[in-house]
A and B are shown apart, each in its own frame.
Chain A
Amino acid sequence: MSRQEITVGVGGEAGEGIGRTGDSIAKIAARHGLHIYAYNSYQSVIRGGHVWLRIRIATEKIHNHGDHLNVLIALNQDTLDRHLREVDSDGWVLFNTEVVRVPEDHRGDLRYCGVPCKALCKDLGYKPVMQNTVLLGAATWVLQLDFSYVEGVMQDIFKHKGAPVVRENVQVAWRGYEYARENFPPIHSPFPRGPKPLAVTTGNEMFALGAVAAGCKFYAAYPMTPASSILHWFARYGPELGVVVKQCEDELAVINFAIGAGFAGVRALCATSGGGFSLMTEAIGEAAMTETPVVVINAMRGGPSTGLPTKTEQADFWQLFGASQGDYPKMILAPTDALDCYYTMAEAFNWAERYQIPVLVASDLYLSEHRETVDPADIRFDVPIDRGESALREWPEDREYKRFADTPTGVSPRVLPGTPGVCYTAATDEHDERGILISDVGTDPVKRKKSMDKRMRKLRFLRQEIPAPQVIGPERADVTLVGWGSTKGILIEAADRLTRAGISTNVLALKYLYPFPSDGVMDVLRRSPKVIVVEQNYTGQLMRHIRAETGFLAHGAVRKYDGEPMEPAYVVQGVKAILEDGISVFPGE
Chain B
Amino acid sequence: MATAVLDVIQEIRDVPVEAYEGPVHPDWCPGCGDYGVLKALQKALAYLQIDPSQVVVVSGIGCSSNLPGFIRAYGFHGLHGRALPVAEGIKLANPRLHVVVTGGDGDGYGIGMGHFIHAMRRNLDITYIVMNNQIYGLTTGQVSPTSMKGVRTKSTPYGNIEPPVNPIALALMSGATYVARGFSGDPNHLASLVAHGIRHRGFALIDVFSPCVTYNNVNTYAWFRQRVYRLEDEGHDPSDFARAVEKALEFGDRIPIGLFYEIEVETYEDLEPAYKRGIPVDQPLGLSPEEGARLVQAWM
Residues of B within 8 A of A424 (CB): 74-75
A362-389 interface code vs B (CB 8 A; 1 in, 0 out): 0000000000001010010111010000
Provided the pairs A249-B115, A425-B74 are in contact, do residues A214 and B286 lie with their beta carbons within 8 angstroms? yes
* Contact B74–A423 (Cβ < 8 Å): yes
Complex Cα–Cα for A237 and B75 (A): 32
Q: How far is the CB of A420 from chain B (nearest CB, A)?
A: 5
Contact A241 B277 (CB under 8 A): yes
Q: Does A473 contact B (CB under 8 A)?
A: no
Q: Which stretch (A6-14, A258-266, A560-568) binds chain B?
A: A258-266
Instruction: Please state if B97 and A438 are interface contacts (CB–CB under 8 Å).
Output: no
In the complex, chain B residues whose CB is within 8 Å of the CB of A437: 24, 66, 68-70, 77
Closest to B54 in A: A418
Q: Does A535 contact B (CB under 8 A)?
A: no
How many Å lie between the Cα of A291 and that of B97 in the bound state? 20
Residues of chain A whose beta carbon lies under 8 Å from any beta carbon of chain B = 30-31, 197-201, 205, 209, 212-215, 217-218, 220, 237-246, 248-250, 252-254, 256-268, 282-283, 286, 290, 374, 376, 379, 381-383, 385, 416-429, 434-440
Question: Which one of B27, B82, B96 has the greatest number of beta carbons of chain A within 10 Å?
Answer: B82
Q: Report if B158 contacts A (CB, 8 A).
A: no
Contact present for B74 and A260 (CB under 8 Å): no
Q: For A249, A385, A423, which residue has the most chain B Cβ atoms within 10 angstroms?
A: A423
Least Cβ–Cβ distance between B24 and chain A, in angstroms: 6
| Closest residue of B by beta carbon distance from A217 | B280
Distance, CA A569 to CA B235, complexed state (A): 81
On chain A, the residues within 8 Å of B23 by CB distance are 434, 436
Q: Answer whether A266 and B76 are a contact pair too, CB < 8 Å, given A212-B287, A215-B285, A416-B281.
A: no
Closest CB of chain B to A94's CB: distance in Å? 26
- Bound-state CA distance A400–B21 (Å) is 17
Shortest beta-carbon distance, A284 to chain B, in Å?
Answer: 11
Q: What is the bound-complex CA distance between A262 and B88, given in angstroms? A: 12
From known contacts A239-B276, A241-B291, A382-B286, infer whether A263 and B53 are also in contact, taking CB-CB under 8 Å: no
Asked whether, in the complex, the Cβ of A244 is within 8 Å of the Cβ of B93, the reply is yes
**Are the CB atoms of B280 and A253 closer together than 8 Å?**
no
A381 lies within 8 A of B287 (CB): yes
Q: Which residue of B lies closest to A246 (CB)?
A: B92
Task: List chain A residues, Cβ under 8 A from B87.
Answer: 260
A418-B97 in contact given A381-B287, A423-B52 (Cβ < 8 Å): yes
B162 interface residue (CB < 8 Å to A):
no
Complex Cα spacing A199 to B24, Å = 58
Chain B 47-82 interface residues, beta-carbon cutoff 8 Å to A? 51-54, 56-58, 61, 66, 68-70, 72-79, 81-82
Contact across chains for B89 and A259 when beta carbons are under 8 A apart: yes
| B272 contact set on A, CB distance < 8 A | 244
The residue in chain A whose Cβ has the minimal distance to the Cβ of B87 is: A260
Within 8 A of A (CB), among B74-125: 74-79, 81-82, 85-94, 96-97, 114-115, 118
Q: Which single residue of chain A is at the shortest CB-CB distance from B299?
A: A199
Q: How far is the CA of A283 from the CA of B27 in the complex (A)?
A: 26
Tally of chain B residues near chain A (CB < 8 A):
61
Contacts of A197 in B (CB 8 A): 300
Q: Within the complex, which residue of B51, B78, B81, B274 is in contact with A244, where a contact is CB–CB below 8 Å? A: B274
- Residues in A whose Cβ lies below 8 Å from that of B278: 242
Verify B94–A264 contact, CB threshold 8 A.
yes
Q: Is A214 touching B285 in the complex (CB atoms < 8 A)?
A: yes
B79 and A428: CB pair below 8 A? yes
Counting residue pairs across A and B whose Cβ atoms lie within 8 Å, the total is: 225
Smallest CB-CB A-B distances: 8 pairs: A260-B89, A437-B69, A215-B285, A425-B75, A242-B277, A256-B85, A239-B273, A381-B292
Question: A209 contacts which of B54, B69, B296 (Cβ < 8 Å)?
Answer: B296
Contacts of A212 in B (CB 8 A): 287, 295
Instruction: Determine the residue in chain A with the shortest Cβ distance to B83.
Output: A256
Contacts of A379 in B (CB 8 A): 292, 296
Nearest chain A residue, comparing its CB with the CB of B81: A252
CB distance from A431 to the nearest CB of B (A): 8
Q: Across the interface, do B74 and A381 meet the contact criterion of CB distance under 8 Å?
A: no
B68, B82, B90, B283: which contacts A217 (Cβ < 8 A)? B283
Q: A218-B280, A239-B274 are in contact. Are A253 and B90 (CB under 8 A)?
A: no
Contact for A425 among B68, B90, B96, B115, CB less than 8 A: B68
Q: A218-B93, A241-B291, A265-B93 are in contact. List 12 more A-B contacts (CB 8 A).
A: A212-B287, A220-B89, A249-B115, A256-B85, A256-B89, A260-B88, A264-B93, A381-B292, A423-B73, A435-B69, A435-B75, A439-B27
- Which A residue's beta carbon lies closest to that of B69? A437
Q: How far is the CB of B97 from chain A (nearest CB, A)?
A: 5
Question: Contacts A249-B115, A283-B82 hold; do A263 and B90 have CB atoms under 8 A apart?
Answer: yes
Given contacts A418-B97, A438-B69, contact A426 B53 (CB under 8 A): no
In the bound assembly, the distance between CA atoms of A238 and B92 in angstroms comes to 14
Tell whether B289 is near chain A: CB-to-CB under 8 Å: yes
Residue among A213, A217, A283, A382 facing the most chain B CB atoms (10 A cut-off): A217
CB closest chain-A residue, reference B291: A241
**In contact, B296 and A257 (Cβ under 8 angstroms):** no
State the Cβ distance, A573 to closest chain B Cβ, in Å.
35
- Please determine whether B93 and A266 come into contact, CB atoms closer than 8 angstroms: yes
**Min CB distance, A392 to chain B, in Å?**
12
B79 adjacent to A282 (CB under 8 Å): yes
Q: Counting CB contacts under 8 A, is B288 at the interface?
A: yes
Do the beta carbons of B274 and A257 come within 8 Å of each other?
no
B70 touches A263 (CB 8 A): no
Quick check: A428 and B90 within 8 Å, CB to CB?
Answer: no
Instruction: Kindly list chain A residues whose C-beta atoms are within 8 Å of the C-beta of B61.
Output: 428-429
Q: Return chain B residues, CB-CB under 8 Å to A209.
A: 292, 295-296
**Given contact pairs A213-B286, A438-B69, A418 touches B93 in the complex (Cβ within 8 A):** no
Which residues of chain B in 8-49 are interfacial with respect to chain A, using CB atoms and an 8 Å cutoff?
A: 23-24, 27
Give the contacting residue for B299; candidates A205, A237, A261; CB below 8 A: A205
> Hey, which chain B residues are within 8 Å of A239, CB to CB?
273-274, 276
Cross-chain contact B283 with A261 (CB below 8 angstroms): no
Residues of A near B295 (CB, < 8 A) are 209, 212, 237
Smallest Cβ distance from B115 to chain A, in angstroms?
A: 6
Which residue on chain B has the smallest CB distance to residue A242? B277
| Most interface-central of B78, B89, B283 (chain A CB within 10 A) | B89
Which listed residue (B53, B118, B286) contacts A215, Cβ 8 A? B286
- B residues less than 8 Å from A245 (CB atoms): 274
Distance in angstroms from B91 CB to nearest chain A CB is 8
17 contacts between A and B (CB under 8 A): A245-B274, A253-B114, A260-B58, A263-B89, A268-B89, A290-B76, A376-B293, A379-B292, A381-B286, A382-B286, A383-B286, A417-B74, A418-B96, A420-B51, A425-B68, A425-B69, A437-B77
Q: Chain B contacts of A421 at CB under 8 A?
A: 53
Q: Which residues on the A side are within 8 Å of B299 (C-beta)?
A: 199-201, 205, 374
Residues in B whose Cβ lies below 8 Å from that of A422: 53
